[in-house]
Amino acid sequence: MPPRLATLAPLVAALAALTAVARAAPAEAASLAAGAADTAAAAAAPTPATMLPNCTRFSAENATELEVFCLLDNTDFRLRISHTPTHSRLVVVCEPHDMRRTDYEALYAMNLRLGVTHSVVLHQCPLPDGTLRHFVQQLGVRGVRLVKVVSLGLLNDTMPADFLDGMDLETLHLDGLTRIQLHDDFFASTGSLHNLTITGTNTSLPDGLLRHTPQLRKLHIRNLNAGRLPVTFLHGLHNLTKLLATRNGLSELTREHFRDLGRLRHLDLYKNSLETLPGDVFASLTELEVLRMECNPFRALNETLFAGTPRLKLLRINGRLNVDVDVSSLPAGIFRGLSHPGAY
């Protein structure tokens, strides 16, 4: 190579290197830009915690029944609703372990207009945010008279004191509330309630829970596991005609418990832990016609036990699971004063 060209060779090589770098820069910049875009997209994409299920509507051939299924990623079941206009009934069934309150938003987005629906059932569903009235309004439901909440011990929640506000209910079933607690004023807006069922709560019921339900006709409390009934729990229920307090482990009852139940006609104390009863425990129950006390470990019964129940027609004391008390061993005067004496 001529000396002059040899002198220029390093300069030529440097220029070639700079040209290669310049040509590579756009590609590298594009790669960096693409990476940044992917990062931004990933940040904006919904996560499993924020994703809403997809809800699909199905109608029966006769178009009288509507079903909606809500699935996450089209595979994971979240909730299903069934609406049957002929029975005026709405049933909401949820996946209790994965269902979240926010999943209801996908249901609301369907803008359903279900119309007059007398009964609503929530089966293993988390309580919706806000009031029950807001929930049914989002589904276009009106005219609800019966509500049933089934927990089956899988849900752990507290029912807000205003959950039933604005609902003019006649019948309410709260079933399997093993982990759900009720506030003192939970029934504050249910003055027209006629029928109430509460089952399966491990927490004792507040003493004044029923003070806002003076129109109550039928009350069923079962499997409460508290072992005791607050003395004032039934006070003020002057219109109650049927009381079923079964499988509650009750070991003590007094006349004060039944003080205001002068219209009671049916009392069921099946399978508690009663060993004895005060002689005047039923003295206020002058209209009582049916009394069931099977499967209690009675040791003795006072002969004045039924002195205040002259209308008693059906009495059941014994049962297959309890043979501690035989009718023939009852005090001789225990049925004195009954207009329809007898035990079955």
Whether 315 is in a domain gets the answer: yes
SS3 132: helix
Contacts by 331-337, CB closer than 8 A, 24 or more apart: 331/301, 331/302, 331/303, 332/303, 333/303, 333/304, 334/301, 334/302, 334/303, 334/304, 334/305, 334/306, 335/306, 336/303, 336/307, 337/306, 337/307, 337/310
Give the pLDDT of residue 203: 64
Q: Which positions ≥6 away from 101 have C-beta within 8 Å?
A: 126, 127, 128, 129
**Bigger pLDDT: 227 or 49?**
227
Residue 272 has pLDDT above 60, yes or no: yes
Confidence of residue 316 (pLDDT cuts 50, 70, 90): very high
Confidence of residue 190 (pLDDT cuts 50, 70, 90): confident
Residue 22 has pLDDT above 50, yes or no: no
Confidence of residue 259 (pLDDT cuts 50, 70, 90): very high
As a whole number of angstroms, the distance between CA 130 and CA 264 comes to 36
Whether 7 is in a domain gets the answer: no
Q: What is the mean pLDDT of residues 39-46?
A: 48
Give the pLDDT of residue 127: 85
Whether 317 is in a domain gets the answer: yes
Give the pLDDT of residue 322: 38
Asked whether 329 and 323 are in contact (CB, 8 A), the reply is no
Residue 222 has pLDDT above 80, yes or no: yes
Give the pLDDT of residue 156: 63
Residue 36 has pLDDT above 90, yes or no: no
Whether 237 is in a domain gets the answer: yes
As a whole number of angstroms, the distance between CA 130 and CA 183 comes to 15
Provide the Cα torsion 335, 341, 343, 344; round to 10°: 180
Whether 177 is in a domain gets the answer: no
Q: What is the mean pLDDT of residues 166-180?
A: 85
Task: Tell me which range, 89-103, 240-254, 300-314, is most confidently predicted by mean pLDDT.
Answer: 240-254
Q: What is the mean pLDDT of residues 314-324?
A: 62
Confidence of residue 74 (pLDDT cuts 50, 70, 90): confident
Residue 306 has pLDDT above 50, yes or no: yes
45-49, 160-164, 273-277: segment of lowest average pLDDT: 45-49
SS3 187: coil
Residue 344 has pLDDT above 50, yes or no: no
pLDDT digits over 76-99, tens only?
Answer: 899 999 999 989 999 999 998 888
Domain at 335, CATH number:
3.80.10.10
**Bigger pLDDT: 259 or 344?**
259
Whether 286 is in a domain gets the answer: yes
Confidence of residue 184 (pLDDT cuts 50, 70, 90): confident
**Bigger pLDDT: 121 or 151?**
121
H/E segment holding residue 196: strand 195-199
| Angle, CA of 206, 267 and 321, to the nearest 5° | 100
Whether 2 is in a domain gets the answer: no
Confidence of residue 102 (pLDDT cuts 50, 70, 90): very high
As a whole number of angstroms, the distance between CA 194 and CA 246 comes to 19
pTM: 0.78
* Domain ranges, residue 263: 227-344
Distances (CA, A) of 299 to 36, 172, 201, 247, 272: 81, 37, 28, 19, 13
Q: What is the mean pLDDT of residues 236-254?
A: 96
Question: Average pLDDT over the chain, rounded to whole?
Answer: 81
How many domains does the chain fold into? 1
Whether 252 is in a domain gets the answer: yes
